[in-house]
Amino acid sequence: MEWYILYCRGDLTAEQIESLVAQKQTQFEGLLNENVALELVASELNVPIKLEIREVKLKLANLIEKISNVNLVATVEKVWPKKTFTHQDGREGKVVNIIVSDETGERNLVVWTEHADMASQLQPGQKIEINGAYTREDNYGKFEVVIGRNGYIKTIKEEKT
State the fold for domain 57-156. OB fold (Dihydrolipoamide Acetyltransferase, E2P) (2.40.50)
Better-scored residue on pLDDT, 78 or 7? 78
Q: Answer whether 88's CB lies under 8 Å from 138's CB.
A: no
Where in the chain do CATH 2.40.50.140 domains reside?
A: 57-156
Q: What is the rounded radius of gyration, in angstroms, for the C-alpha atoms of the chain?
A: 18
Q: Would residue 136 be called left, alpha or beta, if left means φ above 0 and alpha means ψ between -120 and 50 degrees?
A: beta
Residue 142's CB: how many other CB atoms inside 10 A? 10
Residue 155's pLDDT is: 92
User: Highest-confidence range of 23-27, 98-102, 131-135, 142-146, by mean pLDDT?
Assistant: 98-102
Better-scored residue on pLDDT, 50 or 37? 37
Task: Express each pLDDT in 47-88 by its tens digit.
Answer: 876 544 445 577 888 787 778 788 899 999 999 999 999 989
